[in-house]
């Protein structure tokens, strides 16, 4: 199926575009999906509430204005706890599987060690997701049906944007728990409102990070850069400023707009959504010349 942008949707991922793209800007929400396959629920030892705490709940809705402004949004419908598109294609923990994994699998990354590979081993609270071993064929099906189509759509969007405008800005949109989790470097500590990840200045021009930070601070939000999140696979893989592709990861403190325990929206949701509309407009007005690397 092809939407108004000319990009073919995959079914488990969706490009939302209101007519022709008018801005050199793309938004992505890889972790707000909430369609849980029945076979996965049967495999898991956790209930749906525990599983859903790994979602970036409602992040796609916070940025829903973007397509109306002329910037397409890519969102995954599958949940990150089923397969995580912000990892390498095959970051897998060999202890999760009943058979030996192929040699091309990255079994030694920090994400795998933390239980958070392409097929996560742990939920957000640090609980083991599965009660038994998985078959590698299961992981392969998930990657082929969810992960690869998501990235095919994202690449098509980036290529089309660069072709149309000469450059591309991608905002990779996420949310984070208000307190550092048990496997994270800031375990037990309260977090700021926003964390901006630009891979320590390598995934986008400094002007983009500066613009987003200054706009958020002007709206009275607290901001940190690159700690505890400096950017995931999407930021590292696609961010190529010398080629005109600028990628910034945005992490939003969930306490700003929802109850992290009940997963329900707070009254402040509309206020934050308005602030994100303001942010998108500010990024869209960024002069292209500021994004050129010296």
pLDDT value of position 167: 96
Q: CA 269 to CA 57: how far, in whole Å?
A: 12
CB 147 within 8 A of CB 118: yes
Stated pTM of the model: 0.94
DSSP for 168-214 reads EEEEEEEEE-SBB-TTSTTBT-B--SEEEE-TTTTSS-HHHHHHHHH
Cβ-based neighbour number of residue 243 at 10 Å: 12
State which residues of the chain have pLDDT below 70: 1-10, 293-294
Q: CA 245 to CA 249: how far, in whole Å?
A: 13
pLDDT value of position 180: 85
Tokens of 113: 């060690």
Order of strands, sheet of 73-76, starting from the edge strand that comes earlier in the sequence? 13-16, 73-76, 25-29, 168-176, 245-253, 194-197, 223-225
Helix axes 269-284, 206-218, angle to 10 degrees: 140
Q: What is the CATH number of domain 13-80+150-291?
A: 3.40.630.40
Q: Map out the domains of the chain as residue ranges.
A: 13-80+150-291
Tokens of 125: 């609270």
DSSP for 56-113 reads -TTHHHHTTTHHHHT--EEEE-S-TTT--TTS-TTB--GGGBSSPPPTTSB--SHHHH
pLDDT value of position 294: 45
């Amino acid at each position: 199926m092809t939407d108004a942008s000319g990009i073919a949707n995959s079914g488990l991922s969706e490009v939302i575009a209101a007519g022709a793209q008018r801005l050199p800007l793309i938004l992505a929400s890889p972790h707000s999906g909430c369609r849980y396959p029945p076979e996965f629920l049967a495999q898991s030892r956790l209930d749906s509430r525990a599983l859903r705490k790994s979602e970036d709940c409602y992040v796609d809705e916070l940025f829903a204005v973007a397509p109306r402004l002329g910037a397409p949004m890519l969102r995954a419908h599958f949940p990150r706890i089923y397969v995580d598109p912000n990892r390498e294609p095959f970051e897998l923990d060999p202890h999760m599987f009943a058979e030996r994994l192929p040699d091309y699998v990255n079994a030694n990354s920090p994400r795998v060690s933390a239980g958070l590979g392409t097929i996560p081993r742990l939920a957000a609270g640090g609980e083991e997701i599965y009660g038994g071993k998985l078959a590698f064929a299961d992981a392969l099906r998930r990657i082929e049906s969810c992960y690869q189509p998501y990235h095919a759509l994202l690449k098509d969007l980036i290529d089309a944007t660069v072709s149309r405008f000469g450059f591309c800005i991608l905002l990779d949109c996420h949310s984070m728990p208000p307190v550092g989790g048990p496997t994270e470097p800031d375990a037990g500590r309260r977090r700021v409102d926003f964390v901006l990840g630009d891979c320590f200045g390598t995934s986008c021009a400094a002007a983009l990070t500066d613009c987003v930070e200054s706009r958020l601070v002007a709206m009275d939000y607290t901001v940190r850069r690159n700690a505890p999140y400096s950017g995931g696979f999407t930021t590292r893989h696609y961010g190529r400023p010398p080629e005109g592709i600028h990628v910034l990861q945005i992490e939003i403190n969930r306490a700003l707009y929802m109850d992290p325990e009940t997963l329900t929206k707070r009254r402040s949701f509309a206020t934050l959504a308005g602030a994100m509309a303001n942010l998108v407009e500010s990024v869209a007005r960024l002069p292209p010349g500021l994004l050129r690397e010296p």
